[in-house]
Structure 1
């Protein structure tokens, strides 16, 4: 298995190479930026997997991932990052990336993830996605409401009637009215318009 590690931090590149040197059947090459990685991929003997640092020079965000995947060959491409959000990770996976690897992964987890991706599977650590999701959901306004009240409030911000919200959530209309009344009190709104404005002004939806 041949792996191309592209990252602008020399210490990280060297550390990853050391990880893989102790693994049988894995060969590595390194690049310090996107352009060098692209050149090695086009001119080299072929790689099974390319690990791209999300924030290195030349990447231009997810467009670098797309460009690397479009280079002719049988290689797969995964993102590695210490700063990218859950949203970026999900977008990368949806775009067809082989995986998303946080730089906080242990050496053993990293090696296992690489072998997993080399077999044609898609990898992303569930604990990262869940932790990021929980962090994203932590919002002063959202913390005041139940999950059902949040769903109802989202419907209000979309201008939906109680009947439409009830249909979308598969609950009875009187139940929606009760949730609306309760969430008004919790967020300090007098009516539907004010509730929607409060939610939007605080960036909830």
Structure 2
């Protein structure tokens, strides 16, 4: 759903054409067999990525053309590592639609893009009442829930065991008085948590 929404935003002005794939293997096949793309945008958490290994593979087969990374869960360190590896940009999924479109155009033109607030660590420095009761790890897990990630995907992104994620989800549901993981994500969105 996130992939289709992003593609819809990018295609909305009529000047951009996107080709969406659901996993890294499909993306690699499209890159190898299709016309060259102005920009390949990978989701850090898409199936098959194995962290930054997927980025490295696509950078190698994309013949020097721009490759960017998109994520709702990657840390600043991961974004910095991606840029050091040669990614032309990093897009947090929290970017407003207009900013996302502009960033994609910027990267497709060969420029490097990363939100200064995210990279500098100065983004969201004020803690809200909602966040105050949550540990840093619980916040990371909650962001994964808000992106409709499975426990397994969140565990992989955070380099934790799946059972640990299950415990965090249980704790989050208790702290947020949520009926289930979906309810927890909705409560977080309603509270303006990002």
Scaled to the shorter chain, the TM-score interval is 0.5 to 0.7
Change (3 A) 1:128 1:100: same
2-structure distance, mates of 1:29, 1:47: 9
Q: Report 1:1-205 matches (<5 A).
A: 11-131=1-121
Secondary structure at the counterpart of residue 30 of structure 1? coil
Residue equivalent to 2:168:
none
Can you give the 5+ residue segments of structure 2 that lack an aligned partner in the other structure? 126-194
2-structure distance, mates of 1:54, 1:69: 14
Residue equivalent to 1:191:
none
1-structure distance, mates of 2:50, 2:92: 18
Equivalent residue pairs, number: 125
Contact 2:38 2:109 in 1 (8 A): no
Change (3 A) 1:133 1:28: closer
Change (3 A) 1:132 1:37: farther
Larger relative contact order (CA 8 Å, sep ≥ 6) = 2
Larger Rg belongs to = 1
- Deviation per residue, 1:85-127 (Å, 9 max, x gap): 0000001111110100000001100011011111111100011
TM-score of the aligned structures, taking structure 2 as reference length = 0.61
Secondary structure at the counterpart of residue 79 of structure 1? strand
TM-score of the aligned structures, taking structure 1 as reference length = 0.57
Q: Cα RMSD between the aligned structures?
A: 1.7
Can you give the 5+ residue segments of structure 1 that lack an aligned partner in the other structure? 1-10, 136-205
Higher strand share: 1
